[in-house]
Amino acid sequence: MNYQDLIGSMERFGSTERDICIHSIGVDPNQIHENVIIAPWWEPPTFPQFGTFEYLSESEYSSIKVWNLAVGGLEISYIKTGIGAPVLMDVILALGVTLCKKIIFIGSVGALDDKMGIGDIVIPEYSICGDGASRYLASEKLADGDVFGEKQYPDKTMFNCLKKATSHVCEENGIKWHIGNNYSTDTVFAQFVHIDEIIEMGCNIIEMETAAAFRAAEFAGIPMAALLSVSDNTIVHKSLVSGRTSEEMQYRKKVRSELFPKIITAFFYNKGGQ
């Protein structure tokens, strides 16, 4: 199975590529720029340094919203998808019928390593599949599509270029950053009982979308990498549920607000290594 099989199956039931994009993202395919930011939760006002932004639309799913940003000489499309692998995967697959040529995923990540602090920046080297959405791209037969535990990787050139931009900006600003081995989970509530096992898999971070996102981006032929902000650290008792201080959260917001735009614009100005 390949990407064209997905498009062909939708066309078989009467849909056009324009229909697919409008339904999945909420805009016409030609409204999406070559450079795209995907975020499960954050919206452009989170990043004042991104400059001017134009709200375009929301899809039939109210969580999915689209803006176009003008950052210096850069044009960037910014898509908020809502949290979780299924909806984010659908958006990335729909980007395959647009002008999109590069994607940076930005989001929160939980640390599973006492060397990581809240507010630190992480770039995942891979993400282990712990989600259910990925199986729909794994095989033509759903019964043969169990990909639990498989590693999914960002585009290698994008990953290396993003590392370079992150290293430069973080060192310039005295901010810690890390390479992450990620586990993508489907649940926050039920993840805690499995934390020891997830760490034994070699993971030092945990979030919900990037395994499916990397798989979908590769499927659609769009290079992608991810830039993450540490929101919590379960193993030092500063989880999403309890233990974090207001000072830590304020620090995180400051780092995210100030450094993410610098890293992303440096990355896109360098054409993502292309």
Q: Kindly give the residue spans of alpha helices, DSSP state H, lying in the chain.
A: 3-12, 17-24, 85-95, 156-173, 195-200, 210-220, 246-269
pLDDT in tens, 126-136: 999 999 999 99
- How many C-beta atoms surround the C-beta of residue 91 within 10 A? 26
Please list the residues that pair with 181 across neighbouring strands. Answer: 126
Note the Cα 263 to chain centre separation in Å: 15
| DSSP letter, residue 245 | -
Q: State the average pLDDT over residues 260-274.
A: 83
Closest by CA to 136, choosing from 80, 87, 187, is 87
| Dist CA 20 CA 16 (whole Å) | 6
Alpha carbons within 13 angstroms on the beta-carbon side of residue 117 total 13
Total number of residues shown for the chain: 274
Residue 45 has pLDDT above 70, yes or no: yes
Query: Residue 209: what are its φ and ψ, rounded to 5°?
Result: -125, -25
Evaluate if residue 14 carries a pLDDT over 80: yes
Q: Is the pLDDT of residue 26 over 90?
A: yes
Residues 139-164: tens digit of each pLDDT: 888 888 899 999 999 999 999 999 99
Per DSSP, 48 falls in state G
Q: 3.10.20.30, 3.40.50.1580, 3.30.2290.10, 3.40.1480.10: which CATH number matches 3-273? A: 3.40.50.1580
- Evaluate whether 85 touches 208 at the Cβ level (below 8 Å): yes
Q: What is the mean pLDDT of residues 239-254?
A: 96
Average pLDDT over residues 249-271: 94
Q: How is 54-110 classified by DSSP, letter by letter?
A: EEEEE-SSTT-EEEEEEETTEEEEEEE--SSHHHHHHHHHHHTTSS--EEEEEEEEE
Q: Give percent of the chain above pLDDT 70.
A: 98
Closest to 54 (Cα-Cα) out of 42, 64, 69:
69
Q: What is the token pair recorded at 192?
A: 């805690």
Q: Which two tokens stand for residue 174?
A: 């005295």
